[in-house]
Amino acid sequence: MTELLIIKPSSLGDIVQALQVATSLKAQVDDLRISWVVREMFAPIVRACEAVDRVYVFERKAGTKGFLKLMREVRTTKFDYVFDMQGLLRTGLMTSRARAKHKVGRSDAREWSGLFYNQRVPLPPDGRRSHAMDILLQFAPVLGAKPELRGSLRFREADSLNLKFADGRGGSKPYVLFPDSRRADKNWGGFKQLTEMLLREDRTRKVVWAGSTVLPDRGAYPASQFLNMTGNTSLVSLPTLVKKAEWVICNDSGPMHLAAALGVRVLAIFGPTDPRLFGPYPIGGPLNHVIQAPVGDLKLLPARDVFSRLQKLRGR
């Protein structure tokens, strides 16, 4: 049995990509047991992933006392490998305290975290201009695996009354929109107008808003066609909701990466960030689509342009 500890506390999109790497490792390496260090706010989705065997919760707000408690738990197991996929000072310190012969980190690690590794994985051929997923996949050869995605990312199913709304009539699936993103400059303001266009186009279509931040709808849309789950979308139910979608339309965000990972059609709306580095993976895949705002300014991207792009993608 090979014991691997992955340290990837945040954020949601980065964690989803790291879970894909973990899934690929499980598919390629026999008798591999994967443990994971993750922040408390993201722990539910890591626990739900079938590739992960054990979860250690990092409570960032607990300070030094919480950090020491976490490391006491981690040190009860002797690992063969530790992969620091985050590459920051706090994750470097976690790596230093873990009991393992092989402590592996990123070549682009920051905040002096590289001082705590005895091995660094190389960057892909394009170096720092590589996609974030390709950078994480460079950990795979350390265990004798190929730096490519294998297997299917799977989550344990979650039951939710709200998710029943997403079961469309006659087998149709809803459009699931995620209006939120971790950074304000990545938040597009046209989701309300886009929702109006989608509902007018097809009176039998259902649209779901989802995400961690509340976006009021003020009863503007028919209850038979619309459900607002913003502020009430649990991480445990998120994979199930995404898999029910006909399309996921979202900002550059964690749900974008999750939709791509689960093989759901995604239209990602990009502003200042580069989709070649952070877009839905694989870039150019048949289900992964991006629309970027002019000069990277989301205020210059009207809802009609996003709707028109969606129509073209559907062949209408």
- The reported pLDDT for the residue numbered 303 is 98
**Amino acid in position 195:** T
The tokens 């070649």 sit on which residue? 276
Q: Of 105-109, 176-180, 231-235, where does mean pLDDT reach its minimum? A: 231-235
pLDDT tens by residue, 156-168: 876 554 667 776 5
C-alpha to C-alpha distance for 120 and 97, rounded to whole angstroms:
17
Average pLDDT, the chain: 95
- The reported pLDDT for the residue numbered 170 is 54
Domains 2-143 and 162-313 share a fold: yes
**Amino acid in position 315:** G
The tokens 């509902």 sit on which residue? 199
The CATH fold of domain 162-313: Rossmann fold (3.40.50)
- The reported pLDDT for the residue numbered 169 is 55
Q: Name the CATH superfamily, with its identifier, for domain 2-143.
A: Glycogen Phosphorylase B; (3.40.50.2000)
pTM of the model: 0.95
pLDDT mean over 143-172: 79
Domain boundaries, the chain: 2-143, 162-313
108, pLDDT greater than 90 = yes
Describe the crossing of helices 254-261 and 12-28 by its angle, rounded to 10 degrees.
30
- The reported pLDDT for the residue numbered 24 is 98
pLDDT tens by residue, 173-224: 999 999 998 888 999 999 999 999 999 999 999 999 999 999 999 999 999 9
Q: Of 24-38, 94-108, 174-188, 262-276, where does mean pLDDT reach its minimum? A: 174-188
- The reported pLDDT for the residue numbered 157 is 77
